[in-house]
Structure 1
């Protein structure tokens, strides 16, 4: 073997990202988690220029799915920078822009796909935004509806597809609905919603004596820890909270056949609205009326769940329930380990929840105890999220969250 005059043989240089063609580089960067890409944008001018390239955004659109981010909401009286929890990395990021073109102070009220819907606190104006890029645009003013606004739901908007916003107004049993369609940039309605008759309801018995008597009192826990009766008090971020569950077409062509929206009535019962049929049903209560508890409704995948924090026999329990329409009963699908939930006993805690895929985030808040927890509903695995510490070394307590899919390519 030749010794090359004592010199070591030089290995050919290994290929690097810098040697890739622009098209291939864009494909590689498009596969990065969005938080990583924001950090790597500072590597060089070429990578920074790539971020605004139309072909790079097209490569991002070809990525079928991304792990969700959770836009966290803190005390509105203590302004803080936008913070998101990155589920895949179990870390916090500031690469999130919580802004909206409403012309006044606004709060997020709904989310779907890669978009978040904001509502102006004083004017009620609505705007949709991509929290990853900060791009936003206002929606046309909605039509006038009878009665007070009860709930706002948003659905669609995946991978740049059209999205819809549904507003529900009125008091039971007189509810109405108005729907915004982004493909036409216009509102439909308002239309009155019919209560499903007992024989036609697969979602629940809306004519049971317990719900029609009007004599029952249900107790709920407010943010301040006070026990309030009958009329539930919600935080500004969850005041109009509703979730939408999309039902695939039975024909198997991938088209959506129906959309059902769920929200809490002023007395705490869950209302299920079939958007296509323009009908609603009031589901039976999860727990007996004499229990004190905090409740929220959440969508995970293609199912809606009720999350209930209650106290019984000197302990607290947090359980996830699914309504079995065929039997007309609630079925428990997950429960926080007692060692976790017992810490909220006697604290008069309130819960705000959000779901994405199989993930369920629960924000528990009270004057004495706070925490955010993540549950994998399919396996009933629970974990407490790490605390967020700001630049001043102070821990921020979050009251609620909205989930979205981080998508750079979505244009408003």
Structure 2
């Protein structure tokens, strides 16, 4: 009896291990959904069963149950090449889907979506860069009278919203598209408000509501005479605010004189914040959101060297929260370099470009740790040089 039981246990121990092929379909889909996003492009080529799983609606549902994914950064260049993204987890370069239409350029991002705009017509298209699914938005409403100059485009929230800010100080207006209603609201006028009245609602850490920050890329505060990319001309970022209701936002952009303008979309007001540097300084600046807070990133020259610093507006004043190590930033001294930045979580990516020096850097804002990204080499052995980036969460299940 004892010998028979021991033999049974021995046979049980010697049974062949079970593999992925033995899993039930729903279990297999849950396993595949947790693979790195770059693997999604290869699922259909493994076998027929995996190809069928990748096309299944229940597989997309399983992907939606994955709570979060580390960001990808869609990289922008002035040279034609297949769309490329930097995977912040694997530290690798991956291909993305091509633009949803000919002639459109990315101008904003939110969650797993990228917003594209046609410079010639102003048409807006939303796309998932992982799947290629896209849709054109309805034509935005026009303000009464002559067309107004577009300052910035912001994309935020879930369901997503797209905000257009137009006009010239002190005559500003905004129009907002709500994807849940598939319609535009506005344009509505924004009235000037004293800065002190806006400070209690200044951006703060924490909270689940949306605060929008954006930056006009023209103006004489920029240290370089280069024409900025059309993709970053209306760049925007989104940060959280604990004081806002669903759909409300405070928008920040750079005026032509170099001041930061704060627009409260709920109260339909705006105020100008203090300068970071004196008006006679030349510097390149961008606004970025990291982990629920908004920051200004400034590249300037001091005492025969270049300095790249990260600033936060709090308590009525700007304060420095991070700085690139001098050994890194000094390489851009005298180069008339331009910076374009994007954030996601604790990560801040800075693309520095000039006629003489280029580079992409990643910073952990919470620890002030900086690193230069590895170069991206194309099939001809040439190094791709990137001007800017947009961050997105690579998710197959996100619909447009």
Query: TM-score w.r.t. structure 1 length?
Result: 0.86
State how far apart, in whole Å, the 2-side matches of 1:317 and 1:106 are.
34
Q: Please tell me whether the aligned partners of residues 351 and 388 of structure 2 are also in contact (alpha carbons under 8 angstroms).
A: yes
Q: Does residue 183 of the first structure (1) align with residue 173 of the second (2)?
A: no
Runs of 4+ displaced beyond 3 Å = 255-258
* 1:152 aligned residue: 153
In the TM superposition, what are the counterparts of 1:198-277 in structure 2 within 5 Å?
198-202=195-199, 218-222=220-224, 224=226, 234-248=228-242, 256=246, 258-277=248-267
Deviations 1:343-397 (A, max 9, x none): 1001110000001111100000000000000000011010000100011111110
* 1:294 aligned residue: 284
Q: Please tell me whether the aligned partners of residues 223 and 284 of structure 2 are also in contact (alpha carbons under 8 angstroms).
A: yes
State how far apart, in whole Å, the 2-side matches of 1:186 and 1:80 are.
35
The SS at the match of 1:202 is helix
State how far apart, in whole Å, the 1-side matches of 2:228 and 2:393 are.
26
Unmatched 5+ stretches in structure 1: 206-216, 225-232
Q: Does residue 171 of the first structure (1) align with residue 173 of the second (2)?
A: no
State how far apart, in whole Å, the 2-side matches of 1:243 and 1:195 are.
22
* 1:214 aligned residue: none
State how far apart, in whole Å, the 2-side matches of 1:149 and 1:40 are.
42
The SS at the match of 2:132 is coil
Q: Does residue 354 of the first structure (1) align with residue 342 of the second (2)?
A: yes
State how far apart, in whole Å, the 1-side matches of 2:397 and 2:247 are.
27
The SS at the match of 2:249 is strand
Change (3 A) 1:9 1:297: closer
The SS at the match of 1:166 is strand
Equivalent in 50, 53, 64 of residue 50 of structure 1: 53
Change (3 A) 1:257 1:139: closer
Aligned length: 374
Q: Give the superposed CA RMSD.
A: 2.2
Equivalent in 371, 376, 380 of residue 364 of structure 2: 376
Query: TM-score w.r.t. structure 2 length?
Result: 0.89
Deviations 1:83-133 (A, max 9, x none): 000001111001x113124xx401000000010000002111001000000
Deviations 1:229-288 (A, max 9, x none): xxxx532111111223232468xxxx7474222222233322222222222222211111
* 1:135 aligned residue: 133
Q: What is the CA-CA distance between 1:144 and the residue it aligns to?
A: 0.7
State how far apart, in whole Å, the 2-side matches of 1:410 and 1:79 are.
27
Change (3 A) 1:114 1:223: farther
State how far apart, in whole Å, the 2-side matches of 1:335 and 1:302 are.
19
* 1:88 aligned residue: 89
State how far apart, in whole Å, the 1-side matches of 2:189 and 2:126 are.
26
Change (3 A) 1:199 1:71: closer
Change (3 A) 1:58 1:292: same
